Amino acid sequence: MYFNRKNSQINVFAGSPWEAASIHNLLNTAFIQASLQETKHVVAVSVPSEYYTAAVRLMSDRNYI
């Protein structure tokens, strides 16, 4: 089975809508394409798999995680 890593998304954060919007803006400012996915009471932020390490490092530097 062929798995295309460039198309896979990985969740890097899940929380309230305002927290997710803050993370989303932080990642987009750093030129990391992030997307929001809303579920029942939580909003998840996901990034392409190739940007996962950079996103987590940026979020930890800002004390989001």
**Predicted local distance difference test score (pLDDT) of residue 27:** 95
In eight-state DSSP terms, residue 2 is -
Structural domain spans, the chain: 8-33
Amino acid at 59: M
Q: Is the model's pLDDT at 2 over the cut of 60?
A: no
Rounded Cα gap, residues 45 and 26, in angstroms: 11
Q: Which residue has the higher pLDDT, 1 or 35?
A: 35
Q: Is the model's pLDDT at 61 over the cut of 90?
A: no
Residue identified by tokens 């932020």 is 45
**Predicted local distance difference test score (pLDDT) of residue 5:** 55
Q: What is the pLDDT of residues 6-54, one digit of tens each?
A: 568 999 999 999 999 999 999 999 999 999 999 888 999 999 999 999 9
Q: Residue 52: helix, strand or coil by DSSP?
A: helix
Q: Residue 16: helix, strand or coil by DSSP?
A: coil
Identify which of 59, 52, 65, 39 has the alpha carbon closest to the alpha carbon of residue 9.
52
